[in-house]
Structure 1
Amino acid sequence: MPPEERIELLGRILTASDQPLRSRAAAAIVLLYAQPLTRVVRLTIDDVVHDGDLVLLHLGEPASPVPKPVAEILLAWIDSRTNMNTATNRDSCWLFPGRRTGQPMHPETLGGLLKALGVLNVPGRTSAMRQHVQQMPAPVVADALGYHHITTTKLAAEAAVVWSRYVTTPRLRSPTGWTPLTTRDS
């Protein structure tokens, strides 16, 4: 997924107030923080830290800052999580609680919700990760997003490979009889 397409998709998710908060919150985590759905469903409400105007998401160390529009969606979702009315789920700490007692939502279920929004998990994650490793050193990205440093280093190398294989046009030859100006000629 090209970066422009990912940013446009993220913009639609942030402004689509007619869509479910759960889907929008999960999609934002995938598109901004390159998180696989297996990790997204394992997040707890304690992983979202709200300190005054600052909202952080614990994915690695240090916790990642959450931009204000995404923070508003996350906080609204926490206040209105579904599957909380059963006697066994009332105190669930999962950010995306499942229907089973004490269990988070299944990744495939969440994937279906994201697909309904037009967000494909793997292309969205890959696009986000490539942007991160192009803007920051791979080990920093690994620590912040909870990835292994070898994974982010490989992704950084793959992102750079595109440019190392870039074919340039052949150099143009000077026309016959043409001689360049030298400093003595000026």
Structure 2
Amino acid sequence: MNAALAFLQHLASLGLTLEQATQHHVGRWLAEGPSTRYELRDFLVWTAGRGHSRDLAVPIRGKAEPEGLDEDAHWDLLRQCLHDEELPLDVRAAGSLVLMFGQHLSHIVALTSGHLGMADGDVTLRFDDTPLRLPDPLAVLLKRVIDEQPRHGWNANVPSAWLFPGKRPGAHRSTGPLARALITHGIPIRASRTTALIQLAQDMPPAVLAPLVGMHVTTAQ
């Protein structure tokens, strides 16, 4: 209602009533203010439907296009995650999953050894119901995560299926510390995810992409 009141006050300052307002008045008021003014749309749909105003349009304000990485920078980061032995193992594994499949960290930390499998001699990984065949460097890396991931405190003595075990017994790692580790080692999470998903979407239709990476088909579209 704040947008509606602000628009009515604007019209009053011009000596106009709502019935006298034109599309020009609406467009100019929207252009001169913050994006919250686009909330006026529902109010004008209501007033037009009841004959209190003309049929005035307020466009649905689209989201800003997400910013990704330069393609060369993206592949350089992925190669570094797959092959650079100087990076921590957890950073390499999580970074590879972000850069290759555009996975959110909340999905990555919830992965267990049960998400890995075999198909015709190839290592597979499930984000949803469909197993993905992994390239050899990533398959080897994830196997190493299971075998070599250091465990501290209680987790040193508690069996865990998590690929990224947390400090509490039976819990996976929190996204916050993992995000900070990735950023510290030069892996921008949002930009990396954006670039990976855009590249995947260019190579396969949404109905195929969605179940592979565990997203809703509408998001893939």
TM-score w.r.t. structure 2 length? 0.65
Q: Does 1:148 align with 2:216?
A: yes
Q: Does 1:75 align with 2:158?
A: no
From the two aligned structures, give the one with the greater helix fraction.
Answer: 2
- Per the alignment, residue 177 of structure 1 pairs with none
Conserved? CA contact 2:77–2:187, under 8 Å: yes
CA radius of gyration, larger in: 2
Aligned mate of 2:185, from 113, 117, 121: 117
Deviation string, structure 1 residues 26-54 (Cα, Å, up to 9, x no partner): 11011111100011011111112245741
Conserved? CA contact 1:89–1:102, under 8 Å: no
Aligned mate of 1:91, from 150, 159, 167: 159
Alignment of 1:1-186 (within 5 A): 1-50=69-118, 53-83=121-151, 86=154, 90-153=158-221
| Structure 1 residues 67 and 99: alpha-carbon distance in aligned structure 2, compared to 1, 3 A threshold | same
Unaligned runs of 5+ residues in structure 2 are: 1-68
Percent pairwise identity: 31
For 1:101, give the aligned amino acid: P
- Per the alignment, residue 167 of structure 1 pairs with none
- Equivalences, count: 153
For 1:146, give the aligned amino acid: G
For 2:94, give the aligned amino acid: A
TM-score w.r.t. structure 1 length? 0.77
Provide the rounded CA distance (Å) in 1 between the counterparts of 2:181 and 2:116. Answer: 21
Conserved? CA contact 1:84–1:91, under 8 Å: no
Conserved? CA contact 1:3–1:128, under 8 Å: no
1:85 Cα offset (Å): 6.1
| Structure 1 residues 6 and 84: alpha-carbon distance in aligned structure 2, compared to 1, 3 A threshold | same
What secondary structure, in the 3-state scheme, does the structure 2 residue paired with 1:55 have?
A: strand
Deviation string, structure 1 residues 67-98 (Cα, Å, up to 9, x no partner): 10111111111101222663686211111000
Larger relative CO (CA 8 A, sep 6+): 1 or 2? 1
Aligned-residue RMSD, C-alpha: 1.7
| Structure 1 residues 95 and 24: alpha-carbon distance in aligned structure 2, compared to 1, 3 A threshold | same
